[in-house]
């Protein structure tokens, strides 16, 4: 074993709040078993950080000085994964505990590069797969509060980087020189925002200062990795705050340049309200453990560029259905250079956009056909959001709400242009329909 270069601060059991009852049983089993086989075993990273805050961690990551083959020899229910850097997965039914060997050097977890120099000329890390000591393992991590180790041997917390003090102060601080750490891996800039909002921590001034300046480094990050980060930023319950912080640090532009330009075109008017409302709804759903769909979120974030392009085409004479189809295709394509989404997501998001102008056609067979479209529900939710924030007539949304609730006869009557039918919908008290000048255009042009 390597001799350590510096002594860690060790916080014994009585000086921190982590108790074994908060720790996943299988993670405990894994650590005890490693210990019994003569190896070290610690919890590290997000789980230690979250346990110190009294929060339930997403997952429990174990680190050890045992090498992957040695880990495999200790557990029957163990599989080694990863080519570039091997990790052990210990299986307990459907649950998996990830066990990693201490690694040296700072790292770029998901870069996916297989070879090449370790650093590019800009200082970006491309490759690292060297086992190390616990101390080296600590220094390669990103934020001090992510580099705390819970030692199963004596239940202490081991701190090489001052993470405990930062944790107490609510300060999110990179280990080492901030600019260098961002240059090694620009995704750390997004992680800074994500952890600060999630934990309610303040980004240390020295780590906040370089953000707007270094934001363009995100252009070097593979678009597929940025997609993953965007999903974490916007689907984990802090979407609105992350949106505001990303804009504040000029990071948003690197992820959604089309949206950012569209928003600045409009000043602080309704498009911003639309995006903010969509993000707020997403956060509320996450808080209630309701499912949230990435495609809906992307559809909301990119709606304004789609709308602007489509409306410009309509103004120069294109049919609105075609205009929205073309704008949807173009924006999807362009955005894929920044956040490479899976095909299912781009198709679903395009459906949501393309169905928007179809809501304008309320006569004849078209409303029923729209109702049976597999993406109707999402498109309707999207319409509601537009109506709430001024980019669609509230009356239009209301019509569709009633149309869905109506029985067959009622739907027929509504599609025949009657205000009410002899239906459940008609029995509800309704405000008289207001005939706004802008909302009528499409009804005139229906195929009825
Ligand atoms: P979350 O609760 O979001 O999972 P986490 O801290 O567990 O937070 P992960 O992305 O799961 O974050 O990474 C686990 C640990 O690996 C981090 O706590 C950090 O120590 C280290 N790590 C992850 N990504 C990086 C990176 N880009 N650079 C350096 N260290 C990293
Ligand atoms: Mg994690």
The CATH number of residue 57's host domain is: 3.30.460.10
Is residue 205, in this structure, part of any structural domain at all? no
**What pLDDT sits at residue 29?**
97
Distance from residue 61's CA to the centre of ligand 2 (Å): 7
250 a catalytic residue? no
Position 224 pLDDT exceeds 60: yes
CA angle in degrees (0–180, nearest 5) for 396-400-401: 115
Rg over alpha carbons for the chain, rounded to the nearest Å, is 27
Is residue 356, in this structure, part of any structural domain at all? no
User: Strand 87-92 relative to strand 78-81: parallel, antiparallel, unpaired?
Assistant: antiparallel
Is residue 317, in this structure, part of any structural domain at all? no
Is residue 320, in this structure, part of any structural domain at all? no
**What pLDDT sits at residue 123?**
63
Confidence of residue 428 (pLDDT cuts 50, 70, 90): very low
Position 19 pLDDT exceeds 80: yes
Q: Closest ligand to 57 CA?
A: 1
Is residue 109, in this structure, part of any structural domain at all? yes
- Encoding tokens for residue 407? 């029985």
Our count of domains for the chain comes to 2
Position 441 pLDDT exceeds 50: no
Which tops the pLDDT comparison, 223 or 122?
223
Question: Which region among 9-18, 229-238, 437-446 has the lowest average model confidence (pLDDT)?
Answer: 437-446
Position 127 pLDDT exceeds 70: no
**What pLDDT sits at residue 355?**
97
pLDDT digits (tens, 9 = 90+) for 307-366: 999 999 999 999 999 999 999 999 999 999 999 999 999 999 999 999 999 999 999 999
- Cα–Cα distance measured from residue 23 to residue 290, given in angstroms and rounded to the nearest whole number: 25
Q: What average pLDDT does the segment 155-170 reach?
A: 98
Distance from residue 245's CA to the centre of ligand 2 (Å): 21
**What pLDDT sits at residue 81?**
94
Is residue 300, in this structure, part of any structural domain at all? no
- Cα–Cα distance measured from residue 446 to residue 264, given in angstroms and rounded to the nearest whole number: 35
**What pLDDT sits at residue 446?**
35
- Cα–Cα distance measured from residue 233 to residue 194, given in angstroms and rounded to the nearest whole number: 6
Can you spell out the DSSP letters for 323-390? Answer: HHHHHHHHHHHHHTTTS---HHHHHHHHHHHHHTGGGG--STTHHHHHHTSTTHHHHHHHHHHHHHTT
Q: Is the CB of 226 under 6 A from ligand 1?
A: no
Q: Which of 175, 167, 170 is nearest to 135 (CA)?
A: 175
pLDDT digits (tens, 9 = 90+) for 293-314: 999 999 999 999 999 999 999 9
**What pLDDT sits at residue 445?**
36
Most confident of 72-86, 261-275, 338-352: 338-352
- Cα–Cα distance measured from residue 31 to residue 60, given in angstroms and rounded to the nearest whole number: 11
Scan for tokens 């590290």, then name that residue. Answer: 44
pTM check: above 0.85? yes
Confidence of residue 191 (pLDDT cuts 50, 70, 90): very high
Give the bridge partners for 304, in sequence order. none
Please, how many CA atoms are within 13 Å of residue 210, restricted to the half-sphere of its CB? 19
Is residue 81, in this structure, part of any structural domain at all? yes
Other Cβ atoms closer than 10 A to 310: 26
User: What percentage of residues in the chain have a pLDDT greater than 90?
Assistant: 81
pLDDT digits (tens, 9 = 90+) for 38-64: 999 999 999 999 999 999 999 999 999
**What pLDDT sits at residue 107?**
46
| Contacts for 438 with CB less than 8 Å, ≥ 6 apart | 393
Q: Is the CB of 103 under 6 A from ligand 1?
A: no
Please, how many CA atoms are within 13 Å of residue 262, restricted to the half-sphere of its CB? 24
Q: Give me the domain span that covers residue 386.
A: 366-424
Probe residue for ligand 1, chosen from 141, 161, 229 as the CB with the greatest number of ligand atoms within 8 Å: 141
**What pLDDT sits at residue 130?**
82
Among 132, 152, 169, give the residue marking a domain's end.
169
**What pLDDT sits at residue 118?**
54
Give the chain's mean pLDDT. 89
| E runs forming strands in 31-122 | 41-44, 61-64, 78-81, 87-92, 95-101
Probe residue for ligand 1, chosen from 106, 142, 143, 174 as the CB with the greatest number of ligand atoms within 8 Å: 142
| Contacts for 417 with CB less than 8 Å, ≥ 6 apart | 362, 363, 443, 448
User: What percentage of residues in the chain have a pLDDT greater than 70?
Assistant: 85
Is residue 128, in this structure, part of any structural domain at all? yes
């Amino acid at each position: 074993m390597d001799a350590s270069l510096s002594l860690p601060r060790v916080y014994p059991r009585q000086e921190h709040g982590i108790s074994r009852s908060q720790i996943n049983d299988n993670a405990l089993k894994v650590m005890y078993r490693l210990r019994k086989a003569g190896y070290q075993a610690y919890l590290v990273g997000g789980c230690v950080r979250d346990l110190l805050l009294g929060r339930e961690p997403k997952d429990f990551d174990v680190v050890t000085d045992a090498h992957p083959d040695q880990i495999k020899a200790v557990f029957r229910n163990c599989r080694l994964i990863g080519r570039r850097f091997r990790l052990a997965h210990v299986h307990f039914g459907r649950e998996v505990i990830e066990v990693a060997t201490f690694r040296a050097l700072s790292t770029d977890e998901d870069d996916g590069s297989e070879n090449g120099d370790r650093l590019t000329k800009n200082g970006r890390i491309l490759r690292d797969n060297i086992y190390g000591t616990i101390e080296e393992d600590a220094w390669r991590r990103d934020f001090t509060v992510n580099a705390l180790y819970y030692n199963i041997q004596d239940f202490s917390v081991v701190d090489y980087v001052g993470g405990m003090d930062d944790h107490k102060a609510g300060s999110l601080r990179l280990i080492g020189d901030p600019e260098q750490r961002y240059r090694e891996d620009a995704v750390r800039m997004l992680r800074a925002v994500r952890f600060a909002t999630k934990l309610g921590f303040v980004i240390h001034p020295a780590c906040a200062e370089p953000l707007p300046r270094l934001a363009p480094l995100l252009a070097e990050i593979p678009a597929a990795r940025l997609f993953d980060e965007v999903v974490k930023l916007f689907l984990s319950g802090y979407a609105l705050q992350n949106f505001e912080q990303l804009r504040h640090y000029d990071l948003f532009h690197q992820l959604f340049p089309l949206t950012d330009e569209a928003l600045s075109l409009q000043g602080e008017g309704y498009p911003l309200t639309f995006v903010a409302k969509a993000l707020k709804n997403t956060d509320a759903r996450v808080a209630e453990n309701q499912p949230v769909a990435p495609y809906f979120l992307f559809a909301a974030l990119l709606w304004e560029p789609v709308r602007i392009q489509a409306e410009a085409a309509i103004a120069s004479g294109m049919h609105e259905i075609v205009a929205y189809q073309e704008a949807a295709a173009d924006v999807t394509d362009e955005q894929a250079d920044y956040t490479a989404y899976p095909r299912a997501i781009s198709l679903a998001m395009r459906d949501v956009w393309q169905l928007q102008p179809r809501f304008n056609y309320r006569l004849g067979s078209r409303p029923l056909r729209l109702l049976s479209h597999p993406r109707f529900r999402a498109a309707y939710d999207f319409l509601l959001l537009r109506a709430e924030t001024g980019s669609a007539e509230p009356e239009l949304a209301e019509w569709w709400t009633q149309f869905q609730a109506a029985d067959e006869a009622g739907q027929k009557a509504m599609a025949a242009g009657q205000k009410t039918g002899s239906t459940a919908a008609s029995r509800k008290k309704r405000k008289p329909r207001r005939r706004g000048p802008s909302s009528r255009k499409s009804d005139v042009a229906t195929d009825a």
